Amino acid sequence: MGSFKWINCFIIFNFFSFSISTNFLDEAKNPDVFDWMVKIRRKIHENPELGYEEFETSKVIKAELDKLGIPYRHDQVALTAVIAFIGTKKSPFVALRADMDALALQEKVEWEHKSKVPGKMHACGHDAHVAMLLGAAKILKEHEKEIQGTVVLVFQPAEEGGGGAKKIVESGALENVSAIFGLHITPRFPIGEVASRPGLVYARSGFFEATISGKGGHAAFPQHSIDPILAACNVVISLQHLISREADPLESQVVSIGSFQGGSAFNVIPDSVSIGGTFRAFSKESFMLLRQRIEQVITGQASVHRCSSTVNFFDEEKPFYPATVNNDELHKHFQNVAGNFHGINKVNDILRPSMGAEDFSFYQEVIPGYFFLLGMQDPSQERLASGHSPYYKVNEDAFPYGAALHASLASSYLLKLQQKVEG
């Protein structure tokens, strides 16, 4: 009897997930949803806001949620986050996340909806993520009576270094949530394809800055100075030895110096030099060891050259991002939903892990989470620039896929949870 019931549920579940997702893509392609998503995305694109400054973006989101009759929290979670609810408003809860922040970058794409804010640009597609999550909200609202629990929409600030996800976790807003899904739009895959993998996806990541101080003077008489430039050069070289000589060659690690500032005249040795960079590893152990060794190498090399030094790891402003690790069960769920999704041609599930980082990992530290990539490259069009380029463009035709997948992943996951409880 028990097994018979389970089989029935299984068949019903498959039937539902298939029929619901078919409708979702058609619904998302309907101009009511599609044109609306495009309009919102362009509006946000014109007014990009950096991490924790997404006040206008939040207002746009809240105004649309109000029109849809979707309630959201009125307290200020993580300064600018919007946390909204669709469904029974009761357990179980499943969350969908979109990041909202832009980059400090001057847009070089000439188009009607170019960024109106000098030096700021949505060059990583977060404007598209917001639009697609709103698209999912609009679709789910239409099906609210069928939702077997509550879908929590998480519009998150400050993904680009600020760790907005960490603040949301700390606020307790996701306390009763059973699982969370997030996506990133990418030109790496064609439209109609998705990509992900179980387990490790992105590395653990941190930033550091060091100031190396000597004694400035006339460049013709180095014996009267203490040269911080030469000391800093040795620091940069020695830091690479941490990777080539101390890290296990079979365990990926990275140290990169992205900033080296010092001096302003050809014939003057400056007082000090500042360097800054990022370091990455997959395991927490390797990462913490790397952090410790970076500090030792900087202070040690500086002192070899008679300089003093300070090292800052920005524990508050730029918290270390944990590794992004996809839950195995959710991977199966994703494969099932995306694999049976009318309109998705390919589910690439052998994505290589990368040394990139994603603050989605803060959610995954406390609840099962799943992150995937959504293809947007139109093979018949020009090759789109990759993220963080001033020439970054988004193919808006990918929006229905993102919106429908979001809606489908969440609603079918809730259905699955309910069946587990009943079975």
Tell whether residue 333 is among the known ligand binding residues: no
118 binds ligand NAG per the rule CB under 6 A: no
Cα–Cα nearest to 51, from 110, 120, 106, 2: 120
Neighbours of 288 (CB within 10 A): 14
Contact segment (CB under 6 A) with ligand NAG among 94-102, 118-126, 169-177, 391-399 equals: 169-177
How far, rounded to the nearest angstrom, does the alpha carbon of residue 141 sit from its chain's CA centroid? 25
172 binds ligand NAG per the rule CB under 6 A: yes
74 binds ligand NAG per the rule CB under 6 A: no
For ligand NAG, which is the closer residue by CB, 173 or 403? 173
How far, rounded to the nearest angstrom, does the alpha carbon of residue 1 sit from its chain's CA centroid? 45
Cα–Cα nearest to 169, from 399, 338, 361, 381: 361
- Per-residue x/- marks for ligand NAG, 138-167, CB under 6 A? ------------------------------
Q: Is 315 exposed, middle or buried (0-12, 13-18, 19+ CB in 10 A)?
A: exposed
For ligand NAG, which is the closer residue by CB, 93 or 287? 93
Size of the site for ligand NAG (CB under 6 A): 4
3 state SS of 294:
helix
Q: Could you give the C-alpha distances from 419 to 149, 339, 406, 408, in angstroms and in order? A: 12, 21, 20, 16
For ligand NAG, which is the closer residue by CB, 177 or 294? 177
Tell whether residue 184 is among the known ligand binding residues: yes
Contact segment (CB under 6 A) with ligand NAG among 173-181, 273-281, 283-291, 302-310 equals: 173-181
Contact segment (CB under 6 A) with ligand NAG among 8-16, 95-103, 172-180, 383-391 equals: 172-180
Neighbours of 216 (CB within 10 A): 17
Q: In this structure, are residues 324 and 205 in contact, taking their beta carbons and an 8 Å threshold? A: no
Burial 404-420 (b: 16+ CB within 10 A, else e): bbbbbbbbbbbbbbebe
Tell whether residue 388 is among the known ligand binding residues: yes
With CB under 6 A as the contact rule, the residue among 37, 121, 131, 173 that binds ligand NAG is 173
For ligand NAG, which is the closer residue by CB, 323 or 410? 410
With CB under 6 A as the contact rule, the residue among 35, 146, 175, 329 that binds ligand NAG is 175
By CB under 6 A, name the binding residues for ligand NAG.
Answer: 172-173, 175-176
